[in-house]
C-alpha cells in the first residue's frame, strides 16, 4: 500500500497546476462524527486560493490545523481538520 507523509500532502496542495490555479486531488477523511468520507476532486481554497506560497495561508493552517478547500464538483468551499485526513490521491497519509 502506498503511503505519503502529511508534510508532503500539505506541500502538494500548494503546487499550482499547468494553468497556474491550484491543482485538484482526491481526499479521504473522517467526519467529526467518526464516519469516513471522501471527496473525489478538491483544490486548495479559502482566503489563499490562487496565492501560491502565501505566508498568511501557511500561518493559518499551522495555527488552526484546518485546511480551506473547494469541492471541484459542486464549486463549494469547505474546511477539514488536518488530523482527520486519511488518504491523498489513493495513498494512505502518515501523520507521525
* Mean of pLDDT values over 42-66: 61
Q: What is the DSSP letter of 56?
A: H
Residue 54 has pLDDT above 60, yes or no: no
Tell me the pTM. 0.79
Query: CA gyration radius for the chain?
Result: 13
The Cα–Cα gap between 96 and 19 comes to 33
Q: Which residues pair with 32 in a beta bridge?
A: none
Q: Examine the pLDDT at 61 and tell me if it is beyond 90.
A: no
Q: If you average pLDDT over each of 22-26, 27-31, 57-61, which comes out highest? A: 27-31
Read off the pLDDT of each residue in 34-45 and give the average, rounded to a whole number.
94
Backbone angles phi and psi of 91, in degrees to 5:
-90, 145
DSSP, collapsed to helix, strand or coil, labels residue 47 as: helix
Angle ∠(84,88,91) on CA atoms, nearest 5: 110
Amino acid at each position: 500500500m502506498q503511503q505519503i507523509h502529511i508534510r508532503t500532502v500539505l506541500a502538494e496542495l500548494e503546487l499550482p497546476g499547468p494553468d497556474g490555479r491550484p491543482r485538484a486531488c482526491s481526499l479521504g477523511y473522517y467526519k467529526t462524527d467518526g464516519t469516513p468520507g471522501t471527496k473525489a476532486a478538491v483544490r486548495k481554497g479559502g482566503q489563499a486560493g490562487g496565492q501560491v506560497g502565501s505566508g498568511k495561508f501557511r500561518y493559518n493552517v499551522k495555527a488552526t490545523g484546518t485546511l480551506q478547500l473547494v469541492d471541484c464538483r459542486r464549486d463549494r468551499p469547505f474546511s477539514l481538520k488536518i488530523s482527520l485526513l486519511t488518504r491523498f490521491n489513493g495513498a494512505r497519509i502518515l501523520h507521525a
